[in-house]
Amino acid sequence: QKEVEQDPGPLSVPEGAIVSLNCTYSNSAFQYFMWYRQYSRKGPELLMYTYSSGNKEDGRFTAQVDKSSKYISLFIRDSQPSDSATYLCAIAKAGGYSTLTFGKGTMLLVSP
């Protein structure tokens, strides 16, 4: 079983839709969770960071973590064509030095 699983998509939605992007992970040692957005042929940019179960909101974006289910989500409200990108989840372990483990990314397409 891979450490992080993420559906590659593409996920196609109309403008204004609520988008749900998800990752599952296998190791309960992972305690820190990030979402990155990557436009085509660009470097990833950090969108959200969280370390606790529950929701964290930033504008139209909400990151949700369920540690009991080892499941993390990113919700995008009122999606815009400019949200069309690949979204990568990244997770890190607690305690000592830990590099990030990335999901393979989900491609999102928002049509006008």
Partner 1 sequence: DGGITQSPKYLFRKEGQNVTLSCEQNLNHDAMYWYRQDPGQGLRLIYYSQIVNDFQKGDIAEGYSVSREKKESFPLTVTSAQKNPTAFYLCASSLNPGTGTDTQYFGPGTRLTVL
Cβ(15)–Cβ(112) under 8 Å? yes
105 counts as binding partner 1 under rule CB under 8 A: yes
Torsion-angle region of 78 (φ positive above 0: left; ψ -120 to 50: alpha; else: beta): left
Per-residue contact string for residues 13-52; x = within reach of partner 1 by CB under 8 A: ------------------xx-x-x----xxxxxx--x-x-
102 counts as binding partner 1 under rule CB under 8 A: yes
Residue count at the site for partner 1 (CB under 8 A)?
29
76's CB contacts (< 8 A; 6+ apart) are 18, 19, 21, 60, 61, 83, 108
Name the residue nearer to partner 1 (CB basis): 44 or 83. Answer: 44
Q: Which residues bind partner 1 (CB under 8 A)?
A: 6, 8, 31-32, 34, 36, 41-46, 49, 51, 88, 90, 92-100, 102-105
